[in-house]
Chains A and B, each alone.
Chain A
Amino acid sequence: TQLLKQSPQFLSIQEGENLTVYCNSSSVFSSLQWYRQEPGEGPVLLVTVVTGGEVKKLKRLTFQFGDARKDSSLHITAAQPGDTGLYLCAGAKWNDMRFGAGTRLTVKP
């Protein structure tokens, strides 16, 4: 059973569209992280959110941590083909880090 559920599992959109992916859990985490992974490589950290309700922006990417620190969302504005990849969320409890199964995003030119 996945502790963190990500939705959707797959998303295929056209360049320029906006999108939101979700990461949900019934557990409370001390922090939550988003990673992006490209084929043949390891996941690369995008952002860490720590405080309930926190919003962080990274260029066209907006990350939000739920008030109860159980869920998070990633919103991409005006998606580009370079955004294509697997997006993973991970929740931390002390040194135990649990990952969702990921959202595979394809942005078509």
Chain B
Amino acid sequence: DAGITQSPRHKVTETGTPVTLRCHQTENHRYMYWYRQDPGHGLRLIHYSYGVKDTDKGEVSDGYSVSRSKTEDFLLTLESATSSQTSVYFCAISWTGENGNTIYFGEGSWLTVV
């Protein structure tokens, strides 16, 4: 258990509304990630953070922003939700050990944009 909590777990929202997903970790990990998972595409990286106020874009960052004001919290915001952002969103942390970089995932947030 990597101590990752995502909220909300399920949300339905209307097109054009802003949405914020929260990821909370209890293990003081430096690196945190937001992925989305869609059929046929697997997991794709949206944004990641390598420390407080340090974030960078992933491969599918358009339409998303992130913030990390505290080590334990990483927020993902959809500025104006679109139907193409209907997806399952996973927060993750990474831990570097003797086997290199390992990622641990939260339980996911199911977002439907109608």
Contact = CB atoms under 8 A, between A and B. Distances in A.
A99 B43 contact: yes
Contacts of A100: 42
For the complex, would chain B's binding face be called helix, strand, loop or mixed by DSSP majority? Answer: strand
Contacts of B101: 30-31, 92, 94-95, 97
Interface residues of B, number: 24
Nearest to B99: A48
Nearest to B58: A96
Interface stretch (A12-20, A37-45, A73-81): A37-45
A79 B18 CA distance: 45
Contact of B99 (A31, A43, A44): A31
User: How many interface residues does chain A have, given as a range?
Assistant: 20 to 34
Contacts of A40: 108
Nearest to B6: A42
B107 A48 contact: no
Given A31-B99, A95-B50, A42 B90 contact: yes
Interface in A35-62: 40-45, 48, 50
Contacts, number: 59
A41 B109 CA distance: 10
B31 interface: yes
B51 to A, nearest CB: 12
Given A42-B90, A95-B50, A90 B100 contact: no
Interface in B30-71: 31, 33, 35, 40-45, 48, 50
B114 interface: no
Nearest to A90: B103
A21 interface: no
Interface of A: 2, 6, 30-31, 33, 40-45, 48, 50, 88, 90, 92, 94-102
Interface of B: 31, 33, 35, 40-45, 48, 50, 90, 92, 94, 99-108
12 contacts: A2-B42, A31-B100, A42-B107, A44-B105, A45-B102, A48-B99, A90-B103, A95-B48, A96-B45, A97-B103, A98-B45, A100-B42
